[in-house]
C-alpha cells in the first residue's frame, strides 16, 4: 500500500513564511494499493486535492479508471479544494463521491450543489463535466462496490465525522482525522485501529491548548500517542496541524512526541510512504 499526504493542515490553509516545511494545504490523503474493487481512494478534498488533481491529469500518479473520493465529513477544510480538482472538469472522468455512517445527511449531492452555487463559485456542479455520482453508505463499509475491507466508526466532532480503516490482506491504514476524545480516549477509535500498521491520527493541540478548546472537536498530541499505544499501532503519523503552529513549533513537538512513541512522524504536505 502507498499513501501520500496532499494536505496536512487543519481548519484553514496557510501560506505564510515559517509554514513551508509542513505545508499549508488542508486535508487530502491519497491511498493506493487497495484491492481490485477499489484500487485507489482519495480521502477528503481540502485544498491539497488541487495538487492531487494535477498529478492525476499529468499521469504522475496511477489512478484506477474510477476516482473514489471519500469524505470523513464536510467542514470547509475538507471540501474547499473540490472546485479546483481538475479531473472533475474532464468529461472522461468517472468520480464517485461517498461517505458512510449513520449521520443524517439528506442528500450528499446537495452539499456540493450548495458549495458551487453561482454566488460562491463561477462554475456549477452540473457544468463541471465529469460523470459524478454520489453515494451515502449506511453500513460500515464504503468507497468501492466489491466489498473491500474498509471499516468505519463514528467519532465525536461538531456535525459528526468518521474514522476509517483500510485493510488489504494483512496490511492496514487507519485514518482518524477531526475527532475529540470525550471522557478519556474513545474506545471505538482504539478498536477500529487495533494492531494497525499505520495510524494517522489528528492532533491540533498541546495538552495545555486543549484545556481552552473543549468542544472544538480536536485532539492533543498525547491523546494521539495514547490511542496508538492502546491499539498497538506500528507507526503513528500525526496530522491536521493547527494553522497557528509554525514549522519551528511542529519540529519541536515532533521531537518531544518521539520521546514517547518511537515510530512517529508528523505529516508534511507531499509526504509519501510505502509499506
Tell me the closest approach of the beta carbon of residue 27 to Zn ion, in angstroms: 6
CB of 114 to Zn ion, least distance (A): 17
Indicate the residue among 41 and 45 with the shorter CB distance to Zn ion: 45
Q: Rounded to the nearest 5°, which phi and psi values hold at 12?
A: -155, 145
Q: How far is the CB of 273 from Zn ion (least distance, A)?
A: 21
DSSP state letters, 218-273: --BHHHHHHHHHHHT-SEEEEE-B-TT--HHHHHHHHHHHHTT-SSEEE--TT-EE
d(CA 168, CA 149): 7
Smallest Cα–Cα separation from 10: which of 254, 203, 154, 182? 203
Closest CB to Zn ion among residues 77, 226? 77
Residue 205 β-bridge partners: 220
Closest CB to Zn ion among 39 and 46?
46
CB of 217 to Zn ion, least distance (A): 6
Closest CA to 242 of 211, 205, 272, 191: 205
Nearer to Zn ion among residue 80 and residue 167 (C-beta): 80
Position with the least CB separation from Zn ion: 75
Q: Would you say 128 or 157 has its CB closer to Zn ion?
A: 157
Binding residues for Zn ion, rule: CB under 5 A, are 10, 75, 77, 178
Output the smallest distance, CB 172 to Zn ion, in A: 23
Amino acid at each position: 500500500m502507498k499513501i501520500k499526504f496532499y494536505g496536512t493542515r487543519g481548519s484553514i490553509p496557510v501560506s505564510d513564511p515559517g509554514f513551508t516545511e509542513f505545508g499549508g494545504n488542508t486535508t487530502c490523503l491519497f491511498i493506493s494499493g487497495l484491492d481490485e474493487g477499489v484500487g485507489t481512494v482519495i480521502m477528503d478534498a481540502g485544498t491539497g486535492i488541487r495538487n492531487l488533481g494535477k498529478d492525476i491529469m499529468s499521469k504522475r500518479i496511477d489512478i484506477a479508471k474510477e476516482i473514489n473520493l471519500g469524505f470523513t465529513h464536510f467542514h470547509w477544510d475538507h471540501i474547499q479544494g473540490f472546485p479546483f480538482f481538475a479531473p472533475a472538469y474532464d468529461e472522461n472522468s468517472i468520480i464517485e463521491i461517498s461517505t458512510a455512517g449513520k449521520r443524517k445527511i439528506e442528500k450528499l449531492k446537495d452539499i456540493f450543489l450548495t458549495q458551487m452555487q453561482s454566488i460562491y463559485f463561477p462554475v456549477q456542479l452540473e457544468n463541471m463535466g465529469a460523470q459524478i455520482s454520489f453515494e451515502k453508505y449506511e453500513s460500515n463499509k464504503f468507497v468501492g462496490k466489491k466489498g473491500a475491507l474498509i471499516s468505519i466508526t463514528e467519532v465525536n466532532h461538531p456535525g459528526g465525522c468518521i474514522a476509517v480503516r483500510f485493510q488489504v490482506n494483512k496490511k492496514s491504514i487507519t485514518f482518524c482525522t477531526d475527532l475529540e476524545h470525550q471522557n478519556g480516549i474513545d474506545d471505538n477509535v482504539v478498536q477500529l485501529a487495533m494492531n494497525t500498521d499505520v495510524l494517522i491520527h489528528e492532533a491540533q493541540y498541546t495538552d495545555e491548548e486543549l484545556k481552552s478548546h473543549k468542544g472544538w472537536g480536536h485532539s492533543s498530541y498525547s491523546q494521539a500517542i495514547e490511542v496508538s499505544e492502546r491499539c498497538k499501532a506500528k507507526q503513528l503519523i500525526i496530522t491536521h496541524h493547527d494553522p497557528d503552529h509554525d514549522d519551528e513549533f511542529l519540529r519541536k513537538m515532533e521531537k518531544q512526541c518521539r520521546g514517547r512513541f518511537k515510530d512517529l512522524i508528523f505529516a508534511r504536505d507531499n509526504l509519501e510512504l510505502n509499506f
